[in-house]
Amino acid sequence: MELLIDDLFKVISDKKISYIAEKVLGGDRVTEDEVLYLFNSNDLTAIGHLAEFINRKKNGMNAYFIVNRQINPTNICVYQCDFCAFGVKKSDPKAYEMSLDEILRKVEETCEAGGREVHMVGGIPAHWGYERYVELVREIKSRFPEVVVKAWTAIEIHHMAKISRKSYEEVLTELKEAGLEALPGGGAEIFSERARQIIAPNKANAEEYLEVHRTAHRLGIPTNATMLYGHVETLEERVEHLSKLREIQDETGGFQVFIPLAYWPEGTRLGGRRTSSVDDLKTIAVSRIFLDNFDHVKAYWVTLGEKVAQIALNFGADDLDGTIEEEKIVHSAGTRSAYGHSVDRLVKLIKKAGKTPVERDTFYNVVKVYD
């Protein structure tokens, strides 16, 4: 259903938001100052309506999901970031490492259930050599060629380059030859050096994260982008983050989707509070308005919760991620969402939001439309 321009302006009473809406509809870009104004505004209805207007122009009534599985081969991690409750030291009683057989069994189950994607990321153990990361991809892809391997965050790629003394280009080329087809967006956190020093001082910095993605795009590997929000960052720092992503996307066009990740504080050393639903919806909507060169914005049901994710589908988001099966990272930090969802459940969530459920593959090709 098309949203009418007249209806849009009926819900906007704020003069500056009205000006921003006119600019956007005229094809002009929103500036950093303007997007900061939107973040500071409490007019969620107006911002949401504008974002949804833009989304419908890009994606119509489609709301996407994928039949996928997350696999986290280990939670042992050298970096010990304060916002993360998943990564532990090797000596921790909660530490685990999955065997290759265990991993392959999970992929087999996923393929049997019609899954199309394995999203594999994890902790970064000091005792893992570079070859282990490459071999995992090679083993999965050679035994299950039908599944797309979306694996390793830019942080893991940076780490591989460091321990193997190879360039990002060499690492990504070898992974691609082994069967890697896409990179997930994890590890971006927040690009601001000030905030990163507080929440994740030891791992790859913003420039390194972005350079890995740039290199992947150059090699023809599409990637996703995330932003972890709701911890110590300011709204100005969120704008800086979005702006860097928009700049790289102008350069390469290699990002498939933007995924805002709401911070969950339980069990983390950083602590803090959960984000509000208003902040979650506003962040989705503002991102949709600002990132005019991104085709998709994901409402990740694991961090948002199913209900807010469902509402987000009318606030600018067009994708829920997928069935996932077994989410561990955000569950370590207290999310109350399910560990995974059936196709049926995702289809119902989307239909009840008034959208058309569309099963997709990793690259947003349509697999099935649930009319």
Contact residues toward ligand V47 (CB under 6 A) are 83-85, 153, 184-187, 189, 224, 226, 228, 259, 261, 263-264, 268, 300, 303, 321, 329-330, 333
62 or 337, CB closer to ligand V47? Answer: 337
DSSP string over 216-240:
HHHTT--EEEEEEESSS--HHHHHH
The rounded distance, in Å, linking the Cα atoms of 37 and 72 is 39
Cβ 250 to ligand V47, closest distance in Å?
Answer: 20
Cα–Cα distance between 355 and 371 in angstroms, integer?
10
Q: Which is nearer to ligand V47, 259 or 353 (CB)?
A: 259
**Measured from the CB atom, is 125 or 184 closer to ligand V47?**
184
The SS3 call for residue 262 is strand
Please say whether the beta carbons of 65 and 350 come within 8 A. yes
By the 8 A CB rule, do 137 and 160 touch? Answer: no
Q: For the CB of residue 324, give the shortest distance to ligand V47 in the complex, in Å.
A: 8
Closest CA to 281 of 11, 42, 2, 21: 42
Asked if residue 229 lies in contact with residue 263, where contact means CB atoms within 8 angstroms, the answer is yes
Q: CB count, 10 Å around CB of 172?
A: 24
Residue 139 beta carbon to ligand V47: minimum distance, rounded to whole angstroms: 22
The CB-of-31 to ligand V47 minimum distance in angstroms stands at 27
Q: Is 167 exposed, middle or buried (0-12, 13-18, 19+ CB in 10 A)?
A: exposed
Choice between 85 and 124, CB closer to ligand V47 = 85
CB 102 within 8 A of CB 149: no
C-beta closer to ligand V47: residue 40 or 365:
365
Nearer to ligand V47, 185 or 357 (CB): 185
Please identify, using beta-carbon distances, which residue of 3 and 198 lies nearer to ligand V47.
198
Tell the smallest beta-carbon distance from residue 226 to ligand V47 (Å). Answer: 5
Residue 95's Cβ-side half-sphere holds a number of Cα atoms within 13 Å equal to: 13
State CA 24 to chain mean position distance: 24
Burial class (CB in 10 A: 0-12, 13-18, 19+), 173: middle
Min. distance of Cβ 286 from ligand V47 in angstroms? 19
Q: In terms of CB distance, is 168 or 258 closer to ligand V47?
A: 258
Of the pair 249, 303, the CB lying nearest ligand V47 is at 303
CB of residue 29 to ligand V47, shortest distance in Å = 25
Q: Is 284 left (phi over 0), alpha (psi -120 to 50) or beta?
A: alpha
In the bound state, the residue with its beta carbon closest to ligand V47 is 186
Cα separation, 178 vs 169, whole angstroms:
14
CB of 321 to ligand V47, least distance (A): 5
Supply the minimum distance, in Å, between the C-beta of residue 97 and ligand V47: 19
